[in-house]
Each structure stands twice: as structure tokens, then as C-alpha cells.
Amino acid sequence: MKMSLSDYAELAAAVKPFDTEVNRDRYRRGEYPRSAGTKDLNVRYAFDIFHACGWRNPRTDLGGLYNDAHLATALRKAIPPL
């Protein structure tokens, strides 16, 4: 994982309150916007949680250090699969 341990710890703490059983069940049932077009439910859920938590923007706030692949790897580690 390319993300620094301090950035990862901050990200994991930011997404944790949003990764609730209520949200998980809603995604398992497909009750979220544009669910019909979802190819990978776990990736979709992780990125939706990421955007909901309001963590820093990796491209602007972190000087472009991380791209979507780096972020996806960190989110897979921080958010268990549905």
C-alpha cells in the first residue's frame, strides 16, 4: 500500500463511523442511487463511504500523492467486504 501509515490511520478513523450495519444492509439490498449500474458492490460501497465521510481530497488536499488505485487499496483494508 502506497499510502503512509499516518494517512491510512486518519482515513480508517474517518470512514469507521459511516460503515454501519444499516448502511451495509442497504447496499446489500441494492437500495442506493444508480444501483443497477454497479459492477463491484464492495468497491462502490467503499467509495461511497469515503465520499460520505468527507476525508481530505487525495488529489488536492494531499498534493496528488494518491490516485484511485492507492485509495481503493487503503479502503479495502479499512472497510471489510459486504
Assess contact for 27 and 20: CB atoms under 8 A: no
Q: How far apart are CA 28 and CA 61, in angstroms?
A: 32
**How many separate domains does the chain show?**
1
Enter the pTM of the model: 0.86
**Residue 36: burial class (beta carbons within 10 Å; 0-12, 13-18, 19+):** exposed
CA distances from 55 to 26, 29, 74 (A): 22, 26, 13
Mean pLDDT score, 43-55: 93
Mean pLDDT score, 51-69: 75
Range of the domain at 16: 5-78
| pLDDT for 68 | 85
Mean pLDDT score, 47-61: 80
